[in-house]
């Protein structure tokens, strides 16, 4: 087992570095590491052990996704995610099944099962691709993840119903018991989260031993995943996602994510290695026509169907392109469905599973390579007026529901850096600036800007303050209290983030309701303290703990 783990991680590291040197996602390297491991026949490397490690990686990865994706996020995108995913799964199943039937002449049951395997996309792959492109925490990322949550639930339903469908049992009875089990699982996880997990983590958070907290997080993540599979008949992935969502609602979400992150990444790597190891090139070449047709379906028709669905739901061009492009791959649930259909229920021939694996490897590789070209392409198309309504007036475009509107007041050095960072994360940034020359320059650079005083409500209204998620007062010279008051008057839910030079001003602004105020005096002192602690050999956990304590100490010092 140790040898298998060593070889798998070593090959993943080597090919991951090569992929990064070629400006590709490391994920591509992990897949080819598995192919290399199988081709080299590394003696003593146990494929079953690699698959076991990869299952653990999927559980931890989806636990991390659950930590970051709250139920309110799914509700926020339900108008796209629920109808879009259901319509797409049906159309994909029919289309992929028709292709398989036309090329193989198999039974319609076999074709339908093959289509169902290709109707879902990979949560693991999509999460990595969106993270690599810094889109995961945007409306596009939330929509894509919400879409896949619905797909995962539908896949779980199919897995539960398969025995009844194959053995001729009562479909309605199977659906009834499936609903009862899933509801029982949800209530059980919610109960554990409220009365067990919260109390245990509260107790351990005060313990001097940090590894106990980490151990508890892993026990809850893996334990609930096992409970989901062995008691309630659902998938381990769904249980892990639920446990992450429950823990994500608590005040321990950030720490739990940081504690589980190293192990999650290590084992998630082995998932992709195991996929590569299961690939049979000769089997793919023997059925190259089917493989080519399914690759075209995965890379072209799947995203096209998703894009048309989103546009029919009257959602913006950018949202449609960025979400649909992320679906041009297949992944873990496709492998699970195909494996069960072939080995347990005899619904698919073995070569179909190999074609699915080969197409998955190619599509994951191409998706990781090509997706990074999509956001710049959308920006260029929108710059030429494609997919956007051209407004002849000088007023900036109103906020849309495909990106969060962030208002940055002031375009000095701090405002410029913030604008670059936020735009790199696909935020809809609008700059409010009193210098007309700066506004003119920004307009030429394609950065939305508005000339005016941020204290004036009409100016804030033109900037889209009523729909904005946050307003950042990036300069300490701006009248922050007046700006915050005007912004809150238009949008009580807006998040106000401000910069000030002095600690005493920061305290006054926080008392006035600002969400976060950063003082130059305080931040310099804290940064110096963090630097010294790292120089003395403190761990990052110790540095963060001391950072919090030092902040409390600074706030306790009387203002002068």
Q: What percentage of the chain reaches a pLDDT higher than 90?
A: 12
Residue 170 has pLDDT above 90, yes or no: no
Residue 289: the pLDDT is 93
Q: What is the rounded average pLDDT of the residues 379-397?
A: 60
More confident residue, 401 or 98: 98
Residue 390: the pLDDT is 40
| Full set of structural domains in the chain with CATH | 2-370 (1.20.1530.20), 405-556 (3.40.50.720)
Residue 96 has pLDDT above 80, yes or no: yes
pTM (2 d.p.): 0.67
Helices (DSSP H) in 278-349: which residue ranges?
A: 281-286, 288-296, 302-312, 317-325, 332-343
Residue 261 has pLDDT above 70, yes or no: no
* Rounded Cα gap, residues 150 and 446, in angstroms: 37
Q: What is the rounded average pLDDT of the residues 338-345?
A: 78
> Which residue bears the tokens 């490690």?
53
Say if residue 117 is exposed, middle or buried (CB neighbours under 10 Å; 0-12, 13-18, 19+).
buried
Q: What is the rounded average pLDDT of the residues 150-178?
A: 70
Q: Quickly state the pLDDT bin for 171 (edges 50, 70, 90).
A: low
Mean pLDDT of the chain: 79
Residue 391: the pLDDT is 41
Q: Quickly state the pLDDT bin for 93 (edges 50, 70, 90).
A: very high
Highest averaged pLDDT of the listed ranges 156-160, 314-318, 465-469 = 465-469
CB-based contacts of 350, cutoff 8 Å, min separation 6: 342
Residue 97: the pLDDT is 93
Residue 471 has pLDDT above 90, yes or no: yes
pLDDT tens-digit series, residues 315-329: 888 888 999 999 998
Q: What is the rounded average pLDDT of the residues 288-314?
A: 92
Q: Poorest-confidence range of 41-45, 251-255, 461-465?
A: 41-45
Q: What is the rounded average pLDDT of the residues 452-477?
A: 87
* Rounded Cα gap, residues 126 and 114, in angstroms: 21
Residue 392: the pLDDT is 38
pLDDT tens-digit series, residues 522-533: 777 778 888 887
Q: Nearest 10 degrees: CA dihedral of 511, 513, 516, 518?
A: -50
Which phi and psi angles does 431 have, rounded to 5°? -95, 130
More confident residue, 514 or 272: 272
User: In the numeric block, which tokens belong to residue 462?
Assistant: 């033109």
Residue 245 has pLDDT above 50, yes or no: yes
pLDDT tens-digit series, residues 485-522: 889 889 988 998 888 766 666 666 666 555 677 777 77
Residue 164 has pLDDT above 70, yes or no: no
525 vs 520, 532, 549, CA distance in Å? 9, 11, 13
* Rounded Cα gap, residues 229 and 401, in angstroms: 37
CA atoms within 13 A on the CB side of 254: 3
Residue 1: the pLDDT is 65
Report the side by side order of strands in the sheet with 405-409: 449-451, 428-433, 405-409, 470-473, 495-500, 516-519
């Amino acid at each position: 087992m140790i040898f298998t783990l060593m070889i798998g991680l070593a090959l993943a590291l080597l090919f991951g570095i090569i992929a990064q040197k070629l400006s590709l996602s490391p994920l591509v390297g992990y897949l080819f590491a598995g192919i290399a491991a199988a081709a080299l026949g590394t003696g003593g490397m146990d494929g079953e052990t690699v698959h076991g490690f990869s299952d653990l990686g999927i559980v931890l990865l989806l636990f991390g996704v659950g930590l970051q994706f709250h139920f309110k996020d799914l509700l926020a995108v339900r108008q796209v995610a629920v109808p879009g995913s259901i319509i797409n799964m049906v159309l994909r199943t029919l289309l992929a099944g028709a292709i398989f039937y036309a090329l193989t002449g198999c039974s319609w049951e076999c074709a339908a099962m093959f289509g169902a395997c290709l109707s879902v996309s990979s949560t693991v792959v999509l999460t990595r691709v969106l993270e690599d492109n810094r889109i995961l925490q945007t409306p596009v990322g939330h929509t894509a993840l919400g879409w896949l949550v619905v797909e995962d639930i539908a896949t779980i339903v199919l897995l539960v119903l398969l025995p009844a469908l194959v053995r001729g049992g009562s479909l309605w009875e199977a659906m009834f018991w499936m609903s009862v089990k899933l509801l029982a699982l949800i209530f059980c996880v919610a109960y554990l989260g409220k009365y067990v997990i919260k109390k245990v983590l509260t107790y351990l958070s005060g313990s001097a031993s940090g590894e106990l907290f980490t151990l508890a997080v892993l026990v809850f993540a893996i334990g609930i995943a096992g409970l989901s599979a062995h008691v309630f008949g659902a998938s381990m992935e769904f249980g892990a996602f639920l446990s992450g969502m429950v823990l994500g609602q608590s005040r321990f979400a950030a720490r739990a994510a940081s504690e589980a992150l190293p192990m999650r990444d290590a084992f998630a790597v082995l998932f992709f290695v195991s996929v590569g190891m299961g690939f049979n090139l000769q089997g793919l070449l023997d059925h190259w026509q089917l493989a080519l047709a399914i690759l075209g379906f995965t890379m072209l028709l799947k995203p096209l169907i998703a894009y048309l669905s989103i546009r029919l739901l009257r959602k913006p061009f950018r949202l449609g392109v960025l979400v649909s492009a992320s679906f041009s791959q297949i992944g873990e649930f496709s492998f699970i469905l195909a494996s069960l259909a072939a080995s347990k229920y005899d619904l698919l021939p073995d070569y179909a599973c190999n074609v699915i694996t080969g197409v998955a490897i190619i599509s994951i590789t191409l998706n990781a390579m090509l997706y990074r070209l999509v956001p710049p392409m959308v920006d260029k198309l929108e710059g030429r007026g494609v997919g956007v309504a051209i407004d002849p007036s000088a007023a900036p475009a109103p906020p849309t529901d495909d990106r969060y509107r962030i208002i940055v007041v002031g375009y000095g050095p701090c405002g410029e850096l913030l604008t670059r960072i936020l735009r790199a994360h696909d935020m809809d940034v609008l700059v409010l600036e009193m210098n007309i020359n700066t506004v003119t320059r920004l307009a030429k650079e394609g950065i939305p800007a508005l000339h005016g005083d941020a204290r004036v409500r009409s100016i804030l209204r033109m900037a889209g303050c009523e729909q904005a998620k946050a307003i950042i007062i990036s300069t300490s010279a701006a009248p922050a209290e007046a700006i915050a008051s005007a912004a809150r008057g238009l949008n009580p839910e807006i998040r106000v983030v401000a910069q000030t030079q002095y600690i005493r001003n920061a305290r006054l602004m926080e008392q006035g309701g600002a969400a976060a105020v950063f003082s130059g005096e305080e931040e310099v002192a804290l940064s110096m303290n963090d630097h010294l602690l790292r120089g003395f050999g403190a761990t990052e956990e110790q540095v963060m703990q001391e950072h919090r304590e030092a902040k409390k100490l600074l706030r306790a010092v009387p203002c002068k």
